[in-house]
């Protein structure tokens, strides 16, 4: 998404599967970083669509290791992408690799996905309406694609189902949680605390003056990038050989 001469940062697909939402963030991150977006399988004809978290993460793991065979790794994700990044980090650690940072960008708890089953397009539209942002280009693009593209709606349903199958265990890595201050869903105003309970490494919490979608747009995304740059720069351990 943005080449750089230094370390690689992998940004994992949010619920819609595309990684275009990360473009404003990639432009704002430290120019030394090599920023790679990992999109969902199922966006091209013939690709499998994964509705289980273990299968989805196994696919993403193969994609990440194809681009960077060895650690240390830097991972991040907005919304559902944070859950995928968290689970991917666990897989890498289990494989003996080093993960220096996992950035969770307004990642919800898993309670909504476990509570609500999306069985129809109407269910998907209701979820999108609950996340409505009246001032976000990212939301407008998400809502328009959701309305016009049946395959996209299917991918959203599959990813939502994958979230419901996720059973995370504690993660022994440093985590940065960036929270949107505007939280219309009262059940999700303390999602950062749910992830805190699962982190064995350092856990840093910060917030930005935006909602779930507008935090990925200008001008708020500049604050998100600044927080991520600081967290990455804070880790000065030598790379593994």
Q: For the purposes of burial, counting CB atoms within 10 Å of the CB of 2, is it exposed (0-12), middle (13-18) or buried (19 or more)?
A: middle
pLDDT one digit per residue (tens) for the chain, 241 residues: 999 999 999 999 998 888 999 999 999 999 999 999 999 998 888 899 999 999 999 999 999 999 999 999 999 999 999 999 999 999 999 999 999 999 999 998 888 767 777 777 777 777 777 777 666 777 888 888 888 888 888 888 899 899 999 999 999 999 999 999 987 776 667 889 989 999 999 999 999 999 988 999 999 999 999 999 999 997 655 444 3
State the first-to-last Cα distance of the chain, in angstroms, to the nearest integer: 26
Entry pTM = 0.91
- What 3-state DSSP class applies to 32? coil
What single-letter DSSP state applies at residue 11? E
Dihedral pair phi/psi, residue 223, rounded to 5° = -70, -40
Q: Which CATH superfamily is domain 8-234 in?
A: Alpha/Beta hydrolase fold, catalytic domain (3.40.50.1820)
Q: Which two tokens stand for residue 214?
A: 């507008």
């Amino acid at each position: 998404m943005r080449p750089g001469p230094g370390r690689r940062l992998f940004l994992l697909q949010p619920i819609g599967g595309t990684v275009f939402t990360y473009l404003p963030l990639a432009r704002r991150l430290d120019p030394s970083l090599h920023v790679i977006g990992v999109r969902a399988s199922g966006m091209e004809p013939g690709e499998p669509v994964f509705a289980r978290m273990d299968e989805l993460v196994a696919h993403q793991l193969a994609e990440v290791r194809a681009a960077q065979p060895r650690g240390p790794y830097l991972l991040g994700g907005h919304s559902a992408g944070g859950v995928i990044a968290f689970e991917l980090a666990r897989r890498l650690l289990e494989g003996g690799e080093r993960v220096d940072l996992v950035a969770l960008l307004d990642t919800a708890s898993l309670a909504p996905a476990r509570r609500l089953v999306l069985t129809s397009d109407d269910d998907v539209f209701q979820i999108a309406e609950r996340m409505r942002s009246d001032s976000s280009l990212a939301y407008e693009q998400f809502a328009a694609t959701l309305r016009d593209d049946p395959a996209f709606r299917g991918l959203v349903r599959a990813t939502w189902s994958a979230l419901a199958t996720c059973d995370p265990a504690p993660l022994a890595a440093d985590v940065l949680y960036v929270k949107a201050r505007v939280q219309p869903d009262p059940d999700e105003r303390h999602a950062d605390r749910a992830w805190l309970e699962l982190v064995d490494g350092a856990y840093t919490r910060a917030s930005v003056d935006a909602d779930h979608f507008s935090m990925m747009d200008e001008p708020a995304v500049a604050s998100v990038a600044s927080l991520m740059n600081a967290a990455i720069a804070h880790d000065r351990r030598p790379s593994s050989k």
